[in-house]
Structure 1
Amino acid sequence: MRRRRLGVALRRMREDSGLSTETVGRRLRWSASKVSRIETARIGVREADIKRMLRLYQAEDHALTELLALAREAARPGWWTRFPGLPQDQAAYCALEDEADLALAYEAQVVPGLLQTEDYARCVIRGWAEIVPAPPAIIERDLQVRMKRQELLQEPRSLRLSVILDEAVLLHLVGDATIMRRQLERLMELADLPNMELRILPLRADHSAVLHAFTLLEFAPAFEIVFPTVVHSEIHPMSLVQDETVTYEHRRVFDWLSRRSLGPAESVRLIERTVERVWGA
């Protein structure tokens, strides 16, 4: 994602300078295809090459500083690369989530991964492993990845997250009563974060347009370029879709669900009542 941002910025500067990829390649003694591959993020680019490109584009000093910082970030391996064997689609989602400005999530069965306690997450991962067998090392790796992702909600990252949970999520047993009680208490704690909005869709609310669980990732513009929204469905196999029609439909569904859900304060009170009535000691 960072390499894409860098490529888009370099392409914009080249176009603003009125130069073609062929001209840039000729002046820098590169091929035009190398310039194109840099701009489309198919290959990385060295800092020295960025400086040469920006001198050719007569870029201002502040642009050079910003792009060099972005290039260093793009060259730095993401935290997910520290987990050997992580499936490519899972790593891709981690990379996109890591760069997102806003996440909108709907869930009807279980608490979303970003909000799960460790005990709850372990039960969910082990439960899936009963269907698709996985060795203990893989289960532990997936658990660590899920816990690592949750750092996005804390400072300094503070990902903006808006979540709609069906009330059924509060009632579905995962593990035992103690695990459920601690999980719901965790939801109430997270609801206090300034970057977090949590809403509950009551059981008696209209469910006629509800889809499967999904997450929409939206990205802040970079150099006046708006990156497409991504929709992620936590079904097997995992899917990442950037098609504008599909993401627009999911955004409309999310807004539809929001209008039928309880407000944040009322949602927390419902969670508190559920803890007392269903999962209390």
Structure 2
Amino acid sequence: MPSPYVRRRRLAGEIRKLRENRGLTTDDLARLVFHSRTKITRLENAQIRPDLTEIMNLLDALEITGDEYDRICKLAREASQKGWWDRYGMSMGPRQKLYADLEYSAAAIRAYNQTAMPAVLQAPEFIASLVDLDRCQGKLDYLPERMTEARMRRQSELLRSDGPTYETVLDECVIHRLAVPPRAKIAQLRHMIGVVSQDERITVRVLRHDTEIPGGFLPKSAFYLYTFAEAGDPPIAVIDTVTTDLVLTQRGEVARYAAIYDRLRKVALSREDSVNFLDRVAKRLTDQSGSQA
């Protein structure tokens, strides 16, 4: 199944283009199909799941026929599909639903993590500690048990035989600065080592805290890059901020983040050296805390 979110973005662009080519405003189109302007705007911004019947009526109103009609209906049908993550409603959190959607049909995922361990590589004990940290900041917008279940499902989907390649550059400061109990941190490091060691498609590259990054300014936030197998699905960059995730699809904007990622990857430790580094940190924490291996 292709990503419904990616298909919604493509469908949104098609509808906007059809409207503009006919010299119509959003108000004009709304009146033409007996919808509100708000609904048309949300459809053109990929903010709602499309209704196939409504899309067909819209195409009829715009006198779209033939191959173009069939192509856009196919996009609308795929954009309206539901994935495994929809069974969780909002209990897993809206941001995690977006990532689950994009991950499901991605061919390759690249990420830079400067504030958190990769969500799709987290251990249950570590996730529980993150929930405790989140509670310190206010009311949760998800159910912890369902969020944890969904996050582990994301991991199983990532590791399925036809899953995407995944590479993350992990800033070393995350390991030291994240205030979780030593046992949880040790469990997370060992879990990550185990996943990487067992699957060649999964790579973690540690960016040491004292490494210079030449070629430009430092990255200002964590971000994720997604590419897809189908040629019509453009690469996407998602920028992680405190309150929301910014989704970028403009070619130039995505290319800038891809270039930043390449700079980070170039100076980060190799896959093997990163695993060895994580192992040393886990052993040191175990010795310091008296935890059992």
Both structures adopt the same fold (TM-score exceeding 0.5): yes
Are 2:186 and 1:181 aligned? Answer: yes
Q: Is the 1:115–1:187 contact (alpha carbons within 8 Å) kept by the matching residues of 2?
A: yes
Q: How many Å separate the matches in 1 of 2:195 and 2:15?
A: 39
1:2-36 CA distances to partner (integer Å, 9 max, x unpaired)? 34456779999x9xxxxx9x9xxxxxxxx7899xx
SS in 2 for 1:147: helix
Q: Name the residue aligned to 2:136.
A: 130
- For residue 242 of structure 2, the aligned residue among 212, 236, 244 is 236
Q: 1:218 aligns with which of 216, 226, 242?
A: 226
CA shift digits 1:214-235 (9 cap, x unpaired) = 22232326464535x22221x3
CA distance in structure 2 between the partners assigned to 1:212 and 1:121 by the alignment: 25
Per the alignment, residue 195 of structure 1 pairs with 201
Q: Is the 8 A contact 1:5 1:222 kept in 2?
A: no
For 2:276 and 2:94, the matched residues in 1 are separated by 40
Q: CA deviation at 1:118?
A: 0.9
| Map 1:71-150 → 2, pairs under 5 A | 73-78=78-83, 79-84=85-90, 88-134=94-140, 138-150=143-155
* CA–CA distance in structure 2, aligned partners of residues 253 and 5 of structure 1: 26
Cα shift at 1:69: 8.1
CA distance in 1, matches of 2:281, 2:120: 21
SS at match of 2:204: strand
User: How many residues are aligned here?
Assistant: 263
Partner of 2:258: 251
**Residues 194 and 8 of structure 1: is their aligned pair in 2 closer, same or farther, counting only changes over 3 Å?**
farther
* Distance apart, 1:90 and its partner CA: 4.6
> 1-side partners of 2:145 and 2:162: how far apart?
25
- Taking every aligned residue pair, what percent have the same amino acid on both sides? 21
Between 1:68-77 and 1:257-266, the stretch displaced more is: 68-77
Q: What displacement does 1:262 show? A: 1.0
In the TM superposition, what whole-angstrom CA distance separates every residue of 1:79-127 from its partner, at most 9, and x where no partner exists?
Answer: 2342345554553343333343322211233312111101101111220
Change beyond 3 A, Cα 1:225–1:10: farther
Q: Distance in 2 between matches of 1:84 and 1:265?
A: 38
